[in-house]
Amino acid sequence: MLELNVNGTAYRIDVEPEMPLLWVLRDHLSLHGTKYGCGISACGACTVHVDGGAMRSCTLPASAAVGKKIVTIEGLSKDGMHRIQQAWIDHEVPQCGYCQTGMIMSAAALLAQHPQPSDADIGAAMTNLCRCGTYARVRRAIHALAAPAAPTGRKS
């Protein structure tokens, strides 16, 4: 029996400890927003947050997430429309949409760590694959979300 905290709810799940977290989320908790893409942590469709960091859930054993806070796309916002999801709509990021939940989760982790990310920060954090090639739109949406620079307190 594994005890997992997913989207703020505690679950006791009877699964093998080495079962990938992705399959626990999808098959045992019916959280289908997290997608299966490659199964080798390369594409990022399965990205979730584990203790605030973006993690690929297709190769992460469920037992490695015990005692940590897991957030899926379903838990990113209470009303299902996080500001990143709105930016994705505003900047027409998705085409086929399959990779977008993983992209959004990666962007959320990036912006939590770097509220004003540089292009280099975005390139380093956004390693998700998009077969439609919407990378330029992703970058524009992330820059649009970047917090404005804090005032210096000096008047010109």
- Domain ranges (residues) in the chain: 2-74, 83-145
85 pLDDT tier (thresholds 50, 70, 90):
very high
Q: Quick check: 156 pLDDT over 50?
A: no
| Average per-residue pLDDT for the chain | 93
Helices vs. strands in the chain: H and E counts, helices first: 5, 5
Residue among 40, 45, 75 at smallest CA distance from 60: 40
CATH fold, domain 83-145, is: DNA polymerase; domain 1 (1.10.150)
| 2-74 CATH pick, 3.10.20.30, 2.30.29.30, 3.20.20.140, 3.30.930.10 | 3.10.20.30
151 pLDDT tier (thresholds 50, 70, 90):
low
155 pLDDT tier (thresholds 50, 70, 90):
very low
Give tens-digit pLDDT for 38-84: 999 999 999 999 999 999 999 999 999 999 999 999 999 989 899 99
Which phi and psi angles does 137 have, rounded to 5°?
-70, -40
Mean pLDDT value of segment 136-154? 78
pLDDT at residue 148 in the model: 67
Which phi and psi angles does 2 have, rounded to 5°?
-110, 140
Give tens-digit pLDDT for 99-113: 999 999 999 999 999
